[in-house]
Amino acid sequence: MKAMQLRAPASPDNLTLTDLADPGDPGPGEIRVRLIASSLNFHDYAVVVGMIPAADGRIPMSDGAGTVEAVGEGVTQFKPGDTVVSIFFPDWIDGAPPATAFRGVPGDGIDGYAREVVVTPQHWFTCAPRGYSAAEAATLTCAGLTAWRALFVDGSTRPGSTVLVQGSGGVSVFALQFAKAAGARVIATSSSDAKLERLKALGADELINYKEVPAWGAKALEITGGAGVDTVVEIGGAGTLDQSMMATRVGGHVALIGVLAGFAGPVQTGLLMAKNLRVQGLTVGSRQQQLDMIAGIEANGIRPIISDHFPLDRLADAFRHQAANGHFGKIVVDI
């Protein structure tokens, strides 16, 4: 089977298309999945450029979706022909995340889904939403579930809530779609007026160009009449956290997801305390949370926004496109 492997030193230039042995038939409790699509996340980029160390020869990509080709003895959740989508933390089923979760993340601690076929335990996948293509399903594993958890697991988004989303990447667009489906008011930020117009078309109620308004936290306060937003989906990290805290209401929630604007930096602890804020880091979610998200997607008819498609042998180009920040929504890899 064909697979992309990352050779040392980590770089998109060192992604190599190789031929590997077919994994064979599934054993008891296992399924064989013909992978059709993956999608890019910042986590995958961090692995490929060496920000997250990975073993030489690692197969990247945490997201995978495809068709079940065969099932092993005792498999009850799937049948051949089912469209399925992978789990980011294969052994985090429900409840609190296990301390060992990151050791088993596909494309990081173990080989990922930039390949044609996998044989895995059945609990490493869930069924895709009804009517979804594999390409659509592949967008859910990391970005979709991260947005879902930020709003509905760690947060309490409901009709009348106000949510602020940053930019137009996969997590932010999903957060916008999920929040609007829940009846929330959404403030969207971007440095691009063209992207802001696309966010508006998806339902964003208020728009802020953060290049034109660097103090966008104060602007969000103004938009909300001084009350502040209930939840900020914070993808920037240290470089934008202070603005997010400024935008949030007293007792509000900042879902700290990303590090696009920095891994570390000074934080206005006085502001955090004065507002009694809850700043909570999160990394994707559990299998049960993915099942809940899929039920929500099916109930509301939500479809992912796919910006671009790249074939597997152009995975390096897909990462370069991601780094250039020209996409809106998700970048999909067709396998």
Question: Residue 268 — very low, low, confident or very high, per pLDDT cuts 50/70/90?
Answer: confident
Boundary (domain end) residue, out of 281, 304, 324: 281
pLDDT score of 59: 98
**Predicted TM-score of the model (pTM):** 0.96
Residue range 226-257, pLDDT digits in tens: 999 999 999 987 778 999 999 999 999 999 99
* Three-point CA angle 308, 309, 315, nearest 5°: 110
**pLDDT at residue 259 is higher than 70:** no
pLDDT score of 263: 65
Q: 2-6 and 278-281: which strand pairing?
A: unpaired
Whether 119 and 176 map to the same domain: the answer is no
**pLDDT at residue 261 is higher than 70:** no
- Mean of pLDDT values over 168-172: 96
Whether 203 and 314 map to the same domain: the answer is no
Question: Residue 260 — very low, low, confident or very high, per pLDDT cuts 50/70/90?
Answer: low
Whether 87 and 206 map to the same domain: the answer is no
Give the count of domains, the chain: 2
**pLDDT at residue 85 is higher than 60:** yes
* Three-point CA angle 291, 231, 270, nearest 5°: 135
Whether 268 and 303 map to the same domain: the answer is no
Whether 11 and 123 map to the same domain: the answer is yes
Residue range 142-167, pLDDT digits in tens: 999 999 999 999 999 999 999 999 99
DSSP bridge pairs for 279: 254
Residue 48 near residue 59, CB atoms below 8 Å = no
- Structural domain harbouring 253: 155-281
Rg of the chain in Å (alpha carbons)? 20
